[in-house]
Amino acid sequence: MYRFILFDLDGTLTDPKEGICKSVQHALQKAGIEAPEIDKLTPFIGPPLRDSFREFYHMDDAQTEQAVTDYRERFAKVGWKENIPYPGVDRMLAHCRQQGARLAVASSKPQEFVEKILKHFGMYKYFDVIVGSEPDGRRSKKEEIVKETLEQLYGRYGKKMPDAQRREQTAMVGDRKFDIEGARSEGVDGIGVSYGYAEKGELAKAGADAIAGSVEELEELLLGGKKPGNSEPVRIKPVPDNSFLKAVYMLAPFAVWFLLNQVISLLGVSIVDLLKQSKDPRTMAWAEANLQMIQLWARVLINAGTVVALYFFYRNWEPFPWKPKTSLSKSRRTIRSLQIAGLGAFFSLGLNILINQLVMALAPYFVNEEQLAEMMGKAGYDSQTPLVVGTLLFVVASPLMEELIFRWLLYNRISRVFAPVVSVVLTAVFFGFFHGNLLQGGYAFLMGLLLAWLRVGEECVSAPYLFHAAANAVIFWLGFLPKRAQELVGHPYLSLVYLVIGFVFYKILSKSAANICA
């Protein structure tokens, strides 16, 4: 099988005929050219748009740029949605990922539209790298696109492999001669698909190493051919068919970690209790004085150890989407990070205050005063935890551990069985359950929905981690403000203000064209 697989988009993964051809009609009409029926405009599917307008309608540079602008005017509104995935493509991509292949899209279409189309049809999650052309005409040749895609793919997942070995295990899949030419320019196999828009004999003439007549044949070519080297980057186990085994497969990492966490915590408490029962007065006094600090440092170490263990144990069995799919400048990445952190900070403040008030109003009907006081004490801003230890625990270690468990392992496995919306809700339910009592569990469930939404939307773990760390930081650090300042910041009437500010951050984040993560 191939370890690295690049796919063209139009004519390979999706049938874009209606969207592309109607947008070409629109551009030609605006240029005063009589536009033929869309069936006669299919040669526009595949090659760079500018080249097609020049070749087929003999436009000069100015006319070409205007035609491209008019084309994109319609395509940006409706054309990109007039697209149909070929039957079986979703299953084929899932099988490639399950066998450990690293997938990429290398398309002449502008990257913004490539990403929108893949997200719209639920295929975005399968790809490690996505490369398209630039709106200003840069990186429009297929050879340039394939080269950039391979640089990103090899840079992330093939650094330890000799270059010749990497290229031997790489294939570029496309429906036009441009895809095959792009593959040959980089010394990798070019696999053509005849169900796309190539003319008769075009792919063979271009030198395709193999030609698939259907998506099923393509899958067989990709997975039944060459064998990768000794070290698979990720070996994804297929989801069991049996319902009970399926549940075990999904929940096993969470269950094992939860039980171990409880056992280790109980063991730590038992050791402290033994020290407190010592006949040596100095040992008893030391245990009494340092009980809280011992417990806090134990939690820091447990969380840090769990992060290391989870990563090194599961990294070869689960895709770990941490790095960005889209390359961003340092300043752009900083802005994006601030947007996510602001979203976490303000939403957590607003939700925390709002849920506190709801619990204060409703809890007396369900719990007694002593239980209510205990719940509010655990959820309040006041903290006797030292700043440095608390920051390590609540802002760094715990969010990272919880994101690895809930938004990496648990979400990865649940999302292979259920739709994204169901996967988001289920991971949020488990997140709420983990946090225990009514107050913390309700708050964690709502925050879990937002964290899982980020996991889906940003296609990575680092975005929810940044959100989670910012949310924990603002709540924990508020405990070190003077009492009066805490009361002002936590005033009940401000909850809606914080939520509105958080929503503003969300809207800005949603409109941002580039993703921070992969």
Burial of 369 per CB tally in 10 Å (0-12, 13-18, 19+):
exposed
Can you tell me the distance from the alpha carbon of 133 to that of 497, in angstroms, rounded to the nearest whole number? Answer: 41
In this structure, the number of other CB atoms found within 10 A of the CB of residue 169 comes to 23
Residue 231: per-residue pLDDT: 36
DSSP labels, 158-185: -TTS-HHHHHHTEEEEESSHHHHHHHHH
Which regions of the chain are under pLDDT 50?
Answer: 225-234, 378-382, 513-518
9/117 Cα distance (integer angstroms):
9
pLDDT at residue 333 in the model: 76
The rounded distance, in Å, linking the Cα atoms of 318 and 10 is 29
DSSP letters of 51-67?
Answer: HHHHHHH---HHHHHHH
Strand order in the sheet with 4-7: 129-133, 102-110, 4-7, 170-174, 189-193, 210-212
Q: What is the pLDDT of residue 247?
A: 81
pTM: predicted TM-score of the whole model, two decimal places: 0.57
Tell me the C-alpha distance between 314 and 43, whole Å: 46
Work out whether strand 84-85 and strand 14-15 pair parallel, antiparallel, or are unpaired: antiparallel
Give the chain's count of helices (H) and strands (E). 22, 8
Q: What angle do CA 219, 117, 111 make, to 5 degrees?
A: 100
- Whether 8 is catalytic is yes
- Choose, from 8, 70, 179, 189, the residue flagged as catalytic: 8
Q: Which of 145, 177, 164 is nearest to 47 (CA)?
A: 177
Count of CB atoms within 10 A of residue 47's CB?
A: 20
Contact indicator for 390, 481 with CB cutoff of 8 Å: no
Q: How far apart are CA 40 and CA 52, in angstroms?
A: 13
- Residues in a beta bridge with 425: none
To 10 degrees, what angle do helices 462-478 and 330-362 make?
A: 50
Domain annotation for the chain: domains and CATH numbers:
4-10+84-224 (3.40.50.1000), 17-81 (1.10.150.240), 247-511 (no CATH)
